[in-house]
Each structure stands twice: as structure tokens, then as C-alpha cells.
């Protein structure tokens, strides 16, 4: 009994590892969808160098797209008044209206990044994601 529980746990873990490995594919163009309240990149990572985020707002309200280079996990940024600290900001699209698609090309060094929308309350509502450049 115990063995079978342990075995199914290992199988679940193996499944998660596989999904993560596939999600961290590299590429120069990264499609990103914004909605209430998520930042959804098609890939969780990119190769260092020029990276173009193709950002589409598929939600019903205006959003923005901010790229921070920070060692802090995307969900653990210092926040004040419902907004996250933008320390490490390397670029942003200040306004992406519903249905609108905009491109942001940045030269990114290897490391951890946090992608977020920092309109009042949106970060707190969960509109952020971790991103890895290698």
C-alpha cells in the first residue's frame, strides 16, 4: 500500500519535471498574453541576447507589461500601495489596451526576470510570472 502511494507520487513528480523541461524552450520571439490577472508567456525562458516579447492583451481591461531583472521571485517583489517595486526595470510597454498587440525588443543578459503588470492592484491580483534567460 505504502509502496504504491510512493510510486504514484514519483510518477506525478516525473510528469511535472517533463512539463517544466518542455516549457523552458529557447527562442528569440516570446508570445505573451495578458488577461485578468495573468501574464502568460508561451515560453518560460529565452536565450540571452535580443528577445522580442509579442504582447497581446486578451483581457477586458487595459494592462501594461514590465520586465524586471531581479533575483526575487516574481511573486515576492516589494510592494507598496498595491504596486510592485520596479527595481531592475529593463523595459516596458506602458499601455496595452484590450485586443491590442505590441512588441517589445530587449537585449537580455542571462538571469532571472519577473514579468508583470503594475497598474494599480494588478500585481497584487497575481499578474506576474517568472522568466529565465540563459
Q: Which residues bind Cu ion (CB under 5 A)?
A: 63, 117, 119, 122, 127
**CB closest to Cu ion, residue no:** 117
Torsion (CA) 124, 83, 57, 91 in degrees, nearest 10: -130
Nearer to Cu ion, 83 or 130 (CB): 83
CB of 7 to Cu ion, least distance (A): 42
Nearest alpha carbon to residue 97 among 58, 67, 39: 58
CB of 12 to Cu ion, least distance (A): 33
Nearer to Cu ion, 37 or 113 (CB): 37
Nearer to Cu ion, 119 or 133 (CB): 119
DSSP E strand boundaries for the chain: 29-35, 38-41, 45-46, 49-57, 63-69, 79-80, 83-84, 89-96, 101-108, 111-116, 128-133
CB of 127 to Cu ion, least distance (A): 5
Amino acid at each position: 500500500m505504502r509502496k504504491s502511494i510512493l510510486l504514484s507520487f514519483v510518477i506525478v513528480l516525473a510528469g511535472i519535471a517533463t512539463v517544466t523541461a518542455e516549457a523552458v524552450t529557447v527562442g528569440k520571439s516570446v508570445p505573451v498574453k495578458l488577461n485578468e490577472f495573468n501574464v502568460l508567456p508561451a515560453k518560460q525562458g529565452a536565450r540571452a541576447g535580443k528577445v522580442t516579447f509579442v504582447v497581446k492583451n486578451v483581457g477586458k481591461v487595459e494592462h501594461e507589461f514590465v520586465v524586471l531583472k531581479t533575483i526575487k521571485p516574481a511573486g515576492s517583489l516589494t510592494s507598496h500601495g498595491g504596486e510592485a517595486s520596479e527595481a531592475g526595470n529593463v523595459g516596458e510597454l506602458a499601455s496595452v489596451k484590450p485586443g491590442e498587440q505590441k512588441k517589445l525588443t530587449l537585449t537580455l543578459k542571462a538571469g532571472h526576470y519577473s514579468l508583470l503588470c503594475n497598474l494599480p492592484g494588478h500585481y497584487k491580483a497575481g499578474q506576474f510570472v517568472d522568466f529565465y534567460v540563459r
